[in-house]
Amino acid sequence: SFDQKLESKLAKLDLGPSNSDVRSVRLSPDRNWLAYTSNESGRNEVYMRPFPDIDAGKWQVSSLGGDYPIWNKANNELFWWSLETDQIMGVNFNNMTETNETFDFSNPSPILPVPYKTKPSSYVTHDYNSANGSFVFVMPPTANIGNATLDRRTELKVIQSFQDELVNRSFM
């Protein structure tokens, strides 16, 4: 559930160098880890830190740019939006406990293409439903989704002269 006080505290944490932009701070479902976006490498990438002891370690999770991290509440999995590849990417964690000296996670892998080609806005435009394993996207009104995307995702049946068709079928 959304905790406004906690979100406000997370946003104020000193997670990156003073000359970097840190945003999209997300607390893991078990409340032991933070995932966030920072441009400290020169482009936006997704990082992780233990919580609440944020100085106990730091790992760069994404490798092809990343933003808007989302935790899978059902297992040790983290997703993010790769603005460079226009894909939702993900990693699995093998050892996700505070007592481990190393943080073991899989190589980032593409999960699915983003359904529109536009930079997400300052509000969250996608989420993951751990219960059924699906993503949901809110497309901004200015999204350039293109005909190819519409062809893949839209089925439209047009019935001309509907009244006549209905009358004809009722007498068959």
pLDDT single digits (tens) 22-54: 888 888 888 888 999 999 899 999 999 888 888
pLDDT 10s digits, 61-110: 998 899 889 999 878 899 998 888 888 999 987 655 555 455 678 889 99
CA distances from 140 to 18, 89, 92, 145, 156 (A): 32, 21, 29, 10, 22
pTM for this entry: 0.72
Q: Which two tokens stand for residue 146?
A: 């293109």
Give me the residue label for tokens 């840190």: 22
Mean pLDDT of 152-172: 61
Q: What is the pLDDT of residue 1?
A: 43
Per-residue burial over 9-18, b if 16 or more Cβ lie within 10 Å, else e, is ebeeeebbee
| DSSP for residue 124 | -
